[in-house]
Amino acid sequence: MTLTISVLYYRAVGEMAQAGTDEVAGRLLRLATVVQASYACVAERHDLTPVQARLLCVLLDGPRGLADLAHCFGVEKAALTGLMDRAERRGLARRSPVPGDRRALQATLTEAGRRAAAAFHADVGAELSRLIAPLAPAERADFGAAMAQIIARCRDHC
């Protein structure tokens, strides 16, 4: 049910944005909607919420401080605590002290969490690859270069 509501919401936002913005911005928003819906579908197949999947993927790069994660997710520490509680109950992640700072905590993946994150990451990559499969190699290269430029300007995000 949540997935359906989410998809409908993003479709409506995409349609509204296309009506009120320039063509490229509207298409970019629509593409974001398609990517988010694909991400949510893959997360559901892995018995994860999209936020849980994102947490696992972020932690694939290594331990992250809880304050840093809260900032990355744009939530208060209390909301992140709830997310971490659920991940720990499922055996996917754990909290531990930050070496050299007894007051701070960091989140790390468990071995089960690493396997779940890797499997999710592979499946979402395959799903997104299917989206661009119809593009000719030159179109794919141009699209990749344009995305790389956009991403390079947004390095401060998670």
3-state secondary structure of 93: strand
pLDDT at 91 exceeding the cut of 80: yes
C-alpha dist (Å) from residue 38 to 101, 107, 134, 139: 39, 26, 17, 21
104 contacts 65 by C-beta, under 8 angstroms: yes
Which class would CATH give 49-125+146-158?
Answer: mainly alpha
Q: How many CB atoms lie within 10 A of CB 52?
A: 22
Tokens read off for 99:
């070496």
pLDDT of residue 122: 96
Dump pLDDT digits (tens) for 103-154.
889 999 999 999 999 999 999 999 999 999 999 999 999 999 999 998 888 8
The residue extents of the domains of the chain are 1-45, 49-125+146-158
